[in-house]
Structure formats: structure tokens, C-alpha cells
Amino acid sequence: LQKSLKETFGVDKYSRARKEVLTYMFARPMQMALYFCTGMLEDETLFRHYALNVPFYTHFTSPIRRYADIVVHRLLSASLDASSPLRMEKEDIQKQADHCNDRKMASKRVQELSTDLFFSIFVRVRA
């Protein structure tokens, strides 16, 4: 696969651009992760991470990046008795997760449209 990708990208001045476009196109159809409150779902198979093959999974990064990460940090801290419990009902946590999913989807759509626009300009200039 790597060899065929290198051949596809080529070694000319546009090879980097081709690599970025093709990499983006390969990743685009992948299913996007969604935030959810585990207390709202009864089917525990929905908690698994397919690629990592683990039955229970949560993902978070630095809490300075996204509100969803702040909530996960606070819930994890409370579950480890390192801080007081959150004063949020599971329905409210799910509403926050839904809002974060909506914003993430909107952001992804804008990014895709921007990429499509600049790719169109790139192709037009090179034609």
C-alpha cells in the first residue's frame, strides 16, 4: 500500500498537494465519533471502540480544547473521588453532548466546504 501511494503521489512539485488531497479523501468517509452520556444508553456494546477492540472506551484530550473534554475530566475526577460529584442530571449531560456533537458536525462541514473550495481553485489554476 505504501509503495503504491508513493507512486501515486509522485516526486514532482505537486506531490505534497496530491498526498494531502488523497489522505483527506481516504479519511473523509470514516465514521465520526459522537459524544454521549453512558447513563442514557442501556446497550453497553455502544461503548466499545471498534478499532482498538476494547469493550469500554472514553476519549478526552486537554480540557483547554473542548467543553466535552472538561465534562469528561470532571466526571472522571468525581468517579475517582478526587473531586465532588457533578451536579448535573444525566439528561443534562446528554443535552450537552448533543450540543457538542452538533457544533462538531457544523465545524467539520465548514472545513469540508473550505477544502473543496480551495481544491477547486487549485485544480482550476493548474488546468
pLDDT at 2: 66
Domain ranges of the chain: 1-30, 36-126
Name the average pLDDT for the chain: 84
User: Cell 473543496 belongs to which residue?
Assistant: 116
Side-chain half-sphere of 63: how many Cα atoms within 13 Å? 8
Q: How far apart are CA 103 and CA 91, in angstroms?
A: 18
Helix then strand then coil, in percent of the chain rounded to 5, is: 60, 0, 35
Q: Exposure string (b/e) for 70-94, b if CB count within 10 Å is 16 or more?
A: ebbebbeeeeeeeeeeeeeeeeebb
Note the pLDDT of residue 42: 85
d(Cα 18, Cα 26) in Å, to the nearest integer? 12
**Residue 113: how many other CB atoms lie within 10 Å:** 10
Q: What is the pLDDT of residues 35-71, one digit of tens each?
A: 888 888 888 888 888 778 888 888 777 777 788 888 8
Reported as a single tens digit per residue, the pLDDT across 89-109 is: 999 999 999 999 999 899 989
